[in-house]
Amino acid sequence: MTTSVRLTKCFDKGSTAGIFQALGLGMLAIVLCLSFGCNAGEKTESSDAHEEHFPPHWPETIFVAADRLAALESGASEKGPDSWVSLEQQWVDLFRWLPELAADSELSKIDFDQIDAISSKHGISMEKMLEQGKKLEQMKAEPGVSEAIAKLQQICRQELQRLQTLEQ
């Protein structure tokens, strides 16, 4: 007999004992839920959040992203850490992620704004090209892309030099 049927029968008795029996069953349900967990099979916050929220080709820093874009542009890069994601998708993702990666760094506001502008300008056009089924070679040939990657690398080199100077 299920709990809901038992509860109904307890209230049908119309006595104080029936109410106490219903409360006892309710308390038992709460204890069982707390003991065995109400979210059986679901991930908890202690799950590996990195895998849950970030794809394997997510670069750890803006510096890694700049190097990865340069490697993809030069053709020296294979599929990389996430082999099931196309090079085209990785290219687009890297452009889109630049502002978030820059925000996680110690870059100046001027440098951040330049990186954000690169992402805004080229990320949207690259995403449209991806939707149209364009190949990486066509994306790399888009006007201003090489200059944008060169600017990104210049900003990153200057920031790395600044950080090394601070460490000394």
What does the longest C-alpha to C-alpha distance in the chain come to? Answer: 83
Cα separation, 60 vs 168, whole angstroms: 24
Dig out the tokens for 142 from the structure. 């888009």
* Residue 84 near residue 58 (C-beta atoms within 8 A): no
Could you list the pLDDT tens digit for every one of the 168 residues in the chain? 554 445 455 455 555 555 556 555 555 555 454 445 444 444 444 444 444 577 788 899 999 999 999 999 998 766 555 567 889 999 999 999 999 999 999 999 999 999 999 999 999 999 999 999 999 999 999 999 999 999 999 999 999 999 999 988
Cα separation, 108 vs 115, whole angstroms: 11
Residue type, 88: E
**Helix (H), strand (E) at residue 68:** helix 62-74
Collect all residues with Cβ–Cβ distance below 8 Å to 26 and sequence separation of at least 6. Answer: 7
- How much is the pTM? 0.66
Domain boundaries, the chain: 3-36, 50-167
Q: Which of 52, 55, 139, 135 shows the shortest CA–CA distance to 95?
A: 139
* Residue 18 near residue 37 (C-beta atoms within 8 A): no
